[in-house]
Chain A
Amino acid sequence: MSEALAAALAAEYAAIFAYGPIGVRLKGGAVEQARAAEAAHRTRRDRLVVLLGAGGGKVPAAEPAYALPFAVTDSASAMRLAIEVEERTAAVWRAALPATTGNQRAQALDGLTDCAVRATRWRRLAGMTPPTVAFPGGPA
């Protein structure tokens, strides 16, 4: 159970990191969208830290830096990375669903849903059609 949530925390750390280089390459309304996304990931991170800390275990810390899957050089690559970050984080939250029950599963579902919605917003902004996927967070 806490392993899945620790994985979610690691994913949230990485997402927060990635929105740094993403944000500086965006313009206009996309900047605001990135800011809101980063704030949402920070909120999730904080909740996970509290949740995992309450269990008495050691809460994993963030790495000083995370390797990005590709270079962010312009607005298009920034949006591509934002989509990928949300998709990857959605997958980790989805994987936490079978490993949790009750309130913790509710948190995992919220995490998955929020990532899926943000991925959709980024795909729309990037002009991708369709902007949705049938099974957010993973294969069917």
Chain B
Amino acid sequence: MVLTDLVRTAEEDQGRGSGLPRRALLRAALAAAAAVPLASCDLSDDEPEPEPSPDPLAPLITGALDLAARHRAAAAAFPELAARLTSVAQAHEAHATELARSIGAAVPSEAVGSASPSDPPPGPQESDMKAALAALRAAEQEGRDAAAAACLVAPKEHAALVGSIAAARATHLEVLK
């Protein structure tokens, strides 16, 4: 199946540090997100496809997948951190899935490209475990601030989920100490 292939390819490529695996993951995740409401919607047959409007939570999805990829990359680079970082990566992936589910098909395609500029700069600092942890902490802090800001302006149906994600990112800072 296409989605499975995309995800597996992305995981295999993870260690190379190219931008490709993340984009593949994003496409797979966003495609999966789009599939949920379509499959469950009985009325869509006669109606034209509505213009997808960008959801203010879409950047949080790309942010969550970006954080997941960073943790997975660091876990691969530093096996002694793998247990700690993998559970954090899984949390970020769960956040992306849940956010996508909550906003349904309205995920803009631009969200896929927007993750690229925030790619971690590849370089010698990644070989140093302390520096890698510090970089993860900085990324988590940024993600926490973004989720907290989004929570404060979120419609009430999304406030609890986004608040929970902001809180989870704060707890990740504890784990990365």
Interface of A toward B, CB cutoff 8 Å: 90, 94-95, 97-99, 102, 105-106, 108-109, 112-113, 115-117, 119-121, 124, 129-138, 140
Interface size (B, Cβ < 8 Å)? Answer: 29
Does B60 touch A at the CB level, under 8 Å?
A: no
Chain B contacts for A121, CB-based, 8 A: 174
Inter-chain contact count A-B, CB under 8 Å? 98
Which of A105, A106, A117, A136 is within 8 Å of B164, CB to CB?
A136
Q: Chain B nearest CB: distance from A83 CB in Å?
A: 12
A129 CB contacts on chain B under 8 angstroms: 83, 87
Verify B87–A130 contact, CB threshold 8 A: yes
Chain B residues with CB under 8 Å of A136's CB are: 164, 167-168, 171
| Contacting pair B171 A112 (CB below 8 A) | no
A112 contacts which of B88, B152, B167 (Cβ < 8 Å)? Answer: B167
State the majority secondary structure of interface residues on A.
Answer: helix
Check if B175 sits within 8 Å of A120, measured CB to CB: yes
Q: Is B152 a contact of A135 with CB atoms below 8 Å?
A: no
Interchain CB contact (< 8 A) of B160 among A98, A113, A117, A134: A98
Q: Is B172 positioned at the interface, with any CB of A under 8 Å from its CB?
A: yes
Q: With A105-B152, A120-B174 in contact, is A133–B168 under 8 Å at CB? A: yes
